[in-house]
Structure 1
C-alpha cells in the first residue's frame, strides 16, 4: 500500500588503518518523460548553493562560488528552462529535510527525505537544455538530472570523512513518486504539499506516500478559514481551490496542515502571501 521505498547505505572500515571516504547515493531521473523536460522545477529548500561545476555557456560563476537560490541575478534557477549549460551544486545549509522536483508537462514529481544530522550532503546536477556534452553520456541524446545525498558536505578533499579502524558511517533516506498536485512546496516521508496563489484563490494540493484519511486545514494569523475531510492515496491525490480571505496583506502568512482524525500533524507548511505572489 505504500509508494515510498527506504535506502539504508552503510560503509565500514574493516582494515587496521584509518581511511578517507567519500560516500554518496545518486539517482538519475527524468519524471515520466523520455528526456528531462525544460518544464521541470527543482525544489531545494535553501537560500544559497555552492557551485561544484558550471558549463561555459551557462552564464554562471565557476567552482566554489556561492550563489543565491532559487533566483540568481534575476534568473530562476529552480526552473530547468533557465539552465543554458550544465550545473552542479552543493547545498551548505538546508532549511528542511527533503529535496524534490516536479515535471509540469507530465504532472509527476519525486521526493527524497533524509536526516540532516546523518546525511547533510546534498547535490544537484543537470546538463542544461542546450549542452552539447549530453550525447557523450546517453546513446540518444536524452537528458536526466541527478539527486545526490550523503554524509560528506562536498566532493572536495577537505570534506572527506575519516573512518578509523572498525568504524562505519551510514544513514536512512526515503524516496517516493507523486502526481497530480501541480507542483511541490513542502514534503516529508508521509506527504507532499503544494500551495499556490492564482489571483484571489489558493490552489491546494496534497499527495501521500500511503493511503490516508484526515483533515485539511488552512489558517491565517487571524482565523481558520478552511477545513475539509479528505481521503488521499498515491493513486488519488487531493487538489482543491480555496478563496483567499478578505483583508489579508502581502505580509500575512497562510499555513496549510494535513491532520489525522485525532489531530496529529502529518504535514504542515507556512508561507507569506508575498512569497506566493512571487
Structure 2
C-alpha cells in the first residue's frame, strides 16, 4: 500500500474505522470478511453477535499474520499507529490522516467533500486548486460529532488538489482527488521452502532452517541448520542459531561448544561471544562468562549487551562495585534496555547502596507503573511495603504467578536468592488461599532455599510441594530445569515433581529425558493420568508401537475415567490399528454429563459412516444441539449429506422410493445445528441426480 491509511466502512450503518501509520513502517494490512453468501453468514455467527457482519481489520510490521519476526536479545521493535471511528461519510473515505478523514463524491460537474475530524478544529479552511489555480476556499468548523460538507460546482472531471488547514494554519490533510493509485507489481513468492534440498546452497539451507525457527518448528530448524553445517562445519550463523536453540532447551554445555567453534572462525562475532557468555554464566563458570562479556563489549552492535552480561558476572564473582559501574555503562549505551536497568537496581542493592536503589526504583515506577522488579525492590524495605506491593501487583498483573516467577528469576539471576525467596513467598504463597496455591511456586522456593544452603527450609518446601497437586500446572522455562532436577534429586519419591520435570523436558524437546521421568511418575503414583497419556502419546507417535500405546491409554483412562480426550485419542490409536469397531465402542462409552466433545461426535459420526451405519450417523448429528466449526470447515455437513445420500440409495434399491426421496431432499438441507451454510459451489450433484432419478 502506497498510503498511510486504510480501514473499513459499513455502508448500511454509515460507520467505519480508520487506521493511520507510516506505510513504510507498517506495511502489513488486512481486511477480511466472510461475505454475504450462506456459508459466510453461518460461519460468522461464531465470531460476532447480532450487531452486523464480521470483518477482521488488522495491521502490522510484517506482510501477513502468518509471518514471524525474530528479536535479538534486548532488541525493541516499536511503532506508532492511530485507530479511530468515523461516521456520516456515506460509503467510506478516500483519504485520511491522524486528524481527519475525507470522502469525495462527484455527480455531473459537482464535487462534494464530506469531512470529519478526530477533535475540534474551529476556523479550518478547505482549499481546492487545480494546477495551482484556486477553485474554492471555504472556512469550516471541523469536529468529530458530524461531518462537514464542502461543495465545488463546475468542478469538471479532472483531478484537483485539496488542502485542509486548521485555524492555526497547520496542514492536517493534503491530497489529490481522484486519489492516484500507483500500480504495484505483485511480489514474486520465494521458492526457498519448495526448492529440493539437493539444490539448496549453504546459505539457503541456513535460511530454510531460520524459516522453520521463526515458525517455532524447532526440530525442522535444527535439521536444516545441521545440513548447513554438514557443508561447512564452521558456518557461524548456523552454529549460533543452533546454540540459541540449545540455550532455550537448557542445554548450555552443548551451546557453549558450538559457540566456541563460531568465535574461532570469527572473533568479531559479538552475538556469539554474548551467547557463549550467557551459557558460561548458567553453567556457573562466572570468570569465563566475564571474559566473554568483555569480548562482546568490544564488538559492533553488542557493546551494551556485553556490559549487562559483565555486570551479572561481576555480581556472581562478588565484585559489586565493578558490577554497578559496568551496568551503568550498559544503561548509557542502551537507555531502552529495561532489563539492564533492573540489573543496575539490583546491583546497587547488592552493593549495599540501598537508598540509591530505592530512589531509582521509585523513579522507574513513576515512568512505568507496571514494572515489577522496581516495585519488588521497594517492597524489600519493610513489611508494610511488601504487603502493599503484593496487594497492588495482584490487582494489575495478568498471569499472576507466571509474572511473579518471571520477576523473581531476575533476582535469582543476580545471585539474590534470599530476596527472591522472600518476594515469591509473600506474593505466591502467603497472599494466596491455601487451597488455591500452585506447587510451582513452592518448588521454586525449595530451590531458592537450597541456593542459600538452607537445607531444612528447602526440605520443608519440597515436602509441602509434594503434597500439592493441581491440574494445568506446566513448567515452561529452561531455568526451571534446575528447579525440578533439584526436587527429584532431593525428594525422589515425589511423583508430581517427576511428572512436572517430564513435561518440562518434553516442552524443551528433550524427549528421552522426559520419558524417564514420566515412567518414574507412574511407578510412584498410578493415578497420574497425564503421565500415562504422555507415555502413550510417545509410544503412538514416536515409537509407532500401537499395542503399547493402547495399554498406556487404558491405564490413563483408569486413572481419570471422565477425561473425554483420553477416549478420543484411544479411538485414534485403535483406528490406526485397523480396529474400527473397537474404536466405535470406545467413543460410545465416553462418559459425559451434558454433551460429548464436538471432536468426539464428529469422529464417531465418521466411523458410523465408514461402517455404513447411516441412520446412526444421522441420528448422532441431528441430536447434537450445535456445532462450532473451524474456519472454512464443512465436515459436519459433509457427513450429514453423505449419510442421507447413501441411506437414500439403499432405500431406492429396496424400492422405498418415498423414503429415498426424503433422504435425498434432506441431504440438500443445511440444518442450523450443523453449523454450515450453503456454499456458492455446493457439492450437491450426486444428491440432485438421485433425487431426479
Q: Normalization by structure 2: what TM-score?
A: 0.24
Change (3 A) 1:111 1:264: same
What is the RMSD of the two structures over their aligned residues, measured on CA atoms? Answer: 2.5
Secondary structure in 1 matching 2:70: strand
- Which residue of 21, 24, 29 corresponds with 1:114? 21
Task: Give 1 or 2: higher strand fraction.
Answer: 1
Which is bigger in relative contact order (C-alpha 8 A, separation at least 6)?
1
2:123 corresponds to 1:203: no
Aligned to 1:96: 3
The change in CA–CA distance for 1:229 and 1:204 in structure 2 (over 3 A counts) is same
SS in 2 for 1:162: coil
Residues 223, 151 of structure 1: alpha-carbon distance in 2 compared, 3 angstrom cutoff: same
Give 5+ residue unaligned stretches, structure 2: 182-693
Residue 48 of structure 1: aligned partner: none
Aligned counterparts of 2:129 and 2:118: Cα–Cα separation in 1: 24
Match 2:126 to one of 202, 207, 216 = 216
Secondary structure in 2 matching 1:135 = helix
How many Å apart are 1:141 and its aligned residue? 9.9
Query: In the superposition, relative to structure 1, how do residues 178 and 274 fare at CA in structure 2: closer, same or farther (>3 Å)?
Result: closer
The structure richer in helix per residue is 2
TM-aligned CA deviation for residue 260 of structure 1: 2.3
Q: Equivalents in 1 of 2:35, 2:4: separation in Å? A: 26
TM-score normalised to the size of structure 1?
Answer: 0.57
Map 1:62-211; keep pairs closer than 5 Å.
94-130=1-37, 131=40, 132-138=42-48, 143-156=53-66, 159-182=67-90, 183-211=92-120
Matched residue, 1:237: 147
Determine if contact 1:203/1:240 at 8 Å carries over to the other structure. Answer: yes
Q: 1:225-244 CA distances to partner (integer Å, 9 max, x unpaired)?
A: 11111101101321132202
Q: Please tell me whether Structure 1 or Structure 2 has the larger radius of gyration of its CA atoms.
A: 2
Q: Which residue of 2 aligns with 1:91?
A: none
Gaps of 5+ in 1: 1-93
Cα deviation for residue 168 of structure 1 reads 2.6
Worse overlay, 259-268 or 182-191? 259-268
User: For the structure 1 residues 105 and 168, does the alpha-carbon distance in structure 2 shift closer, same or farther, using more than 3 Å as the test?
Assistant: same
Residues 135 and 142, structure 1, Cα contact 8 Å, conserved in 2:
no
Cα distance, 1:119 vs structure 2: 2.3
- Higher mean alpha-carbon deviation, 113-122 vs 230-239, is at 113-122
SS in 2 for 1:236: coil
Residue 192 to residue 141, structure 1, CA distance change in 2 (3 Å): closer
